[in-house]
Amino acid sequence: MESARVAVIGAGDMGHGIAELFAVNGFEVTLMDKFPQALEKARGRVSASLARLVERGKITKAQEAAALSAMKYSGDMASAVAGAAIVVEAVPESQELKKAVFKELDALAPRDAILASNTSNIKISELASATSRPGRVVGMHFFNPPMSMKLVEVIPGEKTDPSVVQEVVRVCEKIGRTPVRVVRDSPGFIVNRINAADTLFFCLLLDRGVASPAEVDTYARGQGLPMGPYELLDFVGIDVGADSLAYFSGALSPEYGKGETFSRMAKAGQLGKKTGRGFYDWSSGRAAIPKAEPTDKISIMDIFALEINESVKLIEEGVASPEDIERGVVLGMNRPFGPITVAKDLSNAEVKAKLEELASKFGCSIFAPARSISEGKMRDAIEGRLSPREEAKVAQPEAQVSKPQGGGDEVRLERLPGGVARIVVNRPRLNLINGRVLDRLDAIVAELAADQAVRAVVVTGEGPVFSAGADFSQFFSSSAAFMDFARKGARIMRRLSELPKITIAVLKGHVLGGGLELALSCDVRVATEDVEMGFTELSRGLAPVWSGSHTLPRLLGVSQASFMILTSEKIKGKRAYEIGLVNRLVSTGDPDEFAVKYATELASSQAPVAVKVAKTLLRNGTDVPMDDGLEMEALAAGLLFATEDLKEGISAFLGKRKPEFKGK
């Protein structure tokens, strides 16, 4: 299916993004919608999105033009699917509507075409039953927005041909997504099934007046979540939450119908951002969340327990493997870690007790412990050791299991023109740093140290955030493992600081804890005005252990460093600039672009051997008595005197021209 034709049916929020994703990746795409105004809107959204990608340097102008010309728009199903190898249905989430569309597709699409559905919840077998080719019907569940969310759940119906699943997995990889295989067709598959229990919990909290949305969201943000659950629901649409609970109440258990507040709000047209009002007022384009104290009526453990419980049920039912559940939640919910990781650090008894408490408090059997947890076998379930009697056997051919993302995908090394390299930390949303990221950083730093062609290095995070710090899921296993992780982090920060090139960190979004230590290990820090940075460790019971407590006082003096570390107060880019933590402020434009431009200038204007020598002097010269420091400078001068670069530098200066340094 190298440059195969794809048809996407339904040009709404998901359909237009899915079509764009295929087009950007070299497929010929026809986007079809029954409503002309929906098609027009989609055309505008695709063009604007492609233009943004060009602006951010993600694609070239030529790729934009190719994607635009690969996209066709059609109001006619027959011509849209003619010659298509794969059809992705993305019409609204109604079983009747989707079945009608599948019936039509079956009649119109080529006999060998794959018919995929982007349904969020509906069983694939149900949709396949509307066709005469259930073997070629499959679930291909993208996440919103498809252009940036990496996860696609791939779901076979009961009769789906395994080769169709394999082909869809391959297509997902071709368009740069991470396919996670759902083994057994079940309502909500992995991520939405786990989400449904959370949604019910948050609905019941309001039904029972346990806490207000603002109190819960303030608590959730304090736990490091980028958005509280109610703000997120407002953002996605309260109708989506209400519809999902309604669907699950029919498909899985009537208990999902227990919640009242969400469906009442949905009926009243209070849908959140899209109607300007939900739990919060969105008239300014952002949620106006009233100031509130964080609630102490719930704890993060409630959510962990509910998610572990649903995960264990999925494993017991043979819907997915523990690894795929973990990967699905991490990528689909933008979490640094998923329920399986959390479960590994908790005892069966504490999860069971928490679930029993929630089930009795809310009178809801969905929250009651899954069978394996009741029987003390949580660990067997999450480590894939349930016996066949206990588990609907997960028959998953080895070759088709989607592989975990290795550190290779999580830190990218890009070689840019002009002697510049860029290191990009790329983990879902917050770019949290785990052991794999550290290992990969280490390997990259070693590679760059040996590469004479690279003279300046930009260190950044993928997307709007530099890095929100260390991945705490790594910390839980034992104090020895924690010590190793700390030691490894500190060692790698040091190697980066010793890299004999000018290093520039791009501070944007959040730069917290270990993320800030990574930035401190660079020579120059450029920052946006609104970046938020700080050492949050003490507020989590930790201390900066990746060289920050050593580096910060040397950079800022003991007073400022003590203040930042001991209070965990976060400061913005402007303040960081005033106290000397940041060297350049980027008030307008893209900070990454600025950093690359700046690095390119420095790569040609600063003599490479002199950079190496100056970095050594700066590092070592400050810790020795002055006489020794001065002697080190004299020795350095002698060394530099012998370089061609010094001659070139002086001759260029006298000749009023730009020097051309050779690094010799």
Residues annotated catalytic, as ranges: 517, 537
Q: What are phi and psi of 150, to 5 degrees?
A: -80, -20
Q: How far is the CB of 229 from ligand NAD (least distance, A)?
A: 15
Beta-bridge mates of residue 415: 421
Q: Does 90 bind ligand NAD (CB under 6 A)?
A: yes
Residue nearest to ligand NAD (CB): 12
> Cβ of residue 116: shortest distance to ligand NAD, in angstroms?
11
Edge-first strand listing for the sheet containing 532-534: 510-512, 532-534, 571-572
One of 4, 68, 93, 451 touching ligand NAD (CB under 6 A): 93
Task: Find the shortest distance in angstroms from Cβ 46 to ligand NAD.
Answer: 13
Number of residues interacting with ligand NAD: please give it, by CB under 6 A: 24
CB 501 within 8 A of CB 606: no
Interstrand relation of 137-142 and 151-156 (parallel, antiparallel or unpaired): antiparallel
**74 near ligand NAD, judged by CB under 6 A:** no
Q: Which of residues 97-156 bind ligand NAD (CB under 6 A)?
A: 101, 118-120, 142-144
* List 35, 170, 363, 487, residue binding ligand NAD (CB under 6 A): 35
State yes or no: residue 10 binds ligand NAD (CB under 6 A): yes
| Position 13 contacts ligand NAD (CB under 6 A) | yes
Q: Among residues 4, 26, 34, 593, which is the contact residue for ligand NAD, using CB under 6 A? A: 34
Name the residue nearer to ligand NAD (CB basis): 35 or 653. Answer: 35
Query: Residue 145: is the preceding peptide bond cis (ω within 30°)?
Result: yes
Of 12-20, 129-137, 197-205, 432-440, the window that binds ligand NAD (rule: CB under 6 A) is 12-20
Which residue do the tokens 């408090």 mark?
A: 361
Q: Does 390 bind ligand NAD (CB under 6 A)?
A: no
Residue 559 CA to residue 130 CA, distance in Å, equals 71
Q: Which of 20, 33, 255, 523 binds ligand NAD (CB under 6 A)?
A: 33
- Segment contacting ligand NAD by CB under 6 A, of 10-18, 198-206, 217-225, 414-422: 10-18
3-class secondary-structure state, position 379: helix
Task: Decide whether 246 or 636 has the Cβ nearer to ligand NAD.
Answer: 246
Spatial separation of the C-alpha atoms in residues 281 and 284, rounded to whole Å: 8
* Shortest reach from residue 123's CB to ligand NAD, in Å: 13
Query: In the set 36, 44, 57, 92, which binds ligand NAD (CB under 6 A)?
Result: 92
Within 8 A by CB and 6+ apart from 440, the residues are 407, 408, 410, 411
Alpha helices for 500-607 (secondary structure H): 514-520, 548-556, 558-567, 573-578, 591-605
Does the protein bind ligand NAD through residue 38 (CB under 6 A)?
Answer: yes
DSSP symbols for 468-527: --B-GGGTSS-HHHHHHHHHHHHHHHHHHHT-SSEEEEEE-SEEETHHHHHHHTSSEEEE
Residue 14 binds ligand NAD, judged by CB under 6 A: yes
Report the candidate in 604, 191, 156 with the shortest Cα–Cα distance to residue 394: 156
- List Cβ neighbours of 568 (8 Å cut-off, separation of 6 or more): 534, 535, 536, 537, 538, 539
Q: Which tokens belong to 521?
A: 């290990």
Look-up of token digits 């004999």: 500
- Shortest distance in whole angstroms from residue 223 CB to ligand NAD: 24
Residue 9 in contact with ligand NAD, rule: CB under 6 A: yes
For residues 98 and 615, which CB has a smaller minimum distance to ligand NAD in the complex? 98
Under rule CB under 6 A, residue 411 binds ligand NAD:
no
Which among 32-40, 275-283, 310-318, 396-404 is the span making contact with ligand NAD, rule CB under 6 A?
32-40
Could you count the other beta carbons within 10 Å of the beta carbon of residue 657? 9
Minimum separation from the CB atom of position 132 to ligand NAD (A) = 19
- Give the tokens for residue 414: 């890009």
Amino acid at 145: P
Out of 7, 8, 11, 23, name the contact with ligand NAD by CB under 6 A: 11
For residues 597 and 463, the answer to whether their CB atoms sit within 8 Å is no
Shortest Å, Cβ 72 to ligand NAD: 15
- In contact, 90 and 8? CB cutoff 8 Å: yes
Smallest gap from Cβ 163 to ligand NAD, in A, equals 25
- Residues in contact with ligand NAD by CB under 6 A are 9-15, 32-35, 38, 90-93, 101, 118-120, 142-144, 236
